[in-house]
């Protein structure tokens, strides 16, 4: 719990010192390259989970978790990027969005590893 609080408060303190600006030539293509495929993959995973729910509920549940974690990761990255736009102009939002994205990278990796372990166990039991 202390690490989570520190993870949120340290970037908040550093964000008060930051003065970054949005560069549409870099950020626009970056957002397209990262967010669109991620959202498509999340939707495909949710669709796969919906179709095979009756067959293997544990594996399907993990597919849904991977999709949700991936979507939350994309939203955290988007929040971090939007925090630096002329519209939002919030260095705090920028830094905290990226700090949240770091946490979501760990959550997404954990769900992918869990999915792999459960899938391997399912294959061995067949």
- Using pLDDT thresholds of 50, 70 and 90, give the confidence band for residue 72: confident
Domain edges within the chain: 56-126
What are 113's two structure tokens? 């590893």
pLDDT for res 8: 61
DSSP the chain: -HHHHHHHHHHHHHHTT------HHHHHHHHHHHHHHHHHHHHHHHHHHHHTTTT-HHHHHHHHHHHHHHHHHHHHHHHHHHTTSTTT--HHHHHHHHHHHHHHHHHHHHHHHHHHHHHHHHHHH-
Q: pTM for this one?
A: 0.50
- Using pLDDT thresholds of 50, 70 and 90, give the confidence band for residue 121: low
pLDDT digits (tens, 9 = 90+) for 86-109: 667 788 888 888 888 888 888 888
């Amino acid at each position: 719990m202390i690490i989570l609080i520190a993870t949120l408060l340290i970037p908040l303190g550093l964000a008060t010192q930051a003065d970054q600006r949005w560069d549409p030539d870099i950020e626009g293509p970056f957002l397209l390259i990262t967010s669109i495929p991620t959202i498509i993959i999340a939707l495909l995973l949710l669709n796969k989970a919906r179709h095979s729910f009756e067959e293997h509920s544990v594996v399907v549940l993990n597919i849904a978790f991977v999709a949700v974690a991936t979507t939350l990761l994309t939203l955290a990255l988007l929040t971090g990027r939007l925090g630096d736009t002329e519209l939002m102009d919030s260095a705090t939002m920028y830094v905290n969005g990226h700090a949240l994205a770091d946490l979501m990278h760990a959550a997404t990796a954990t769900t992918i590893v869990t999915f792999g372990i459960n899938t391997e166990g399912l294959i061995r039991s067949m």
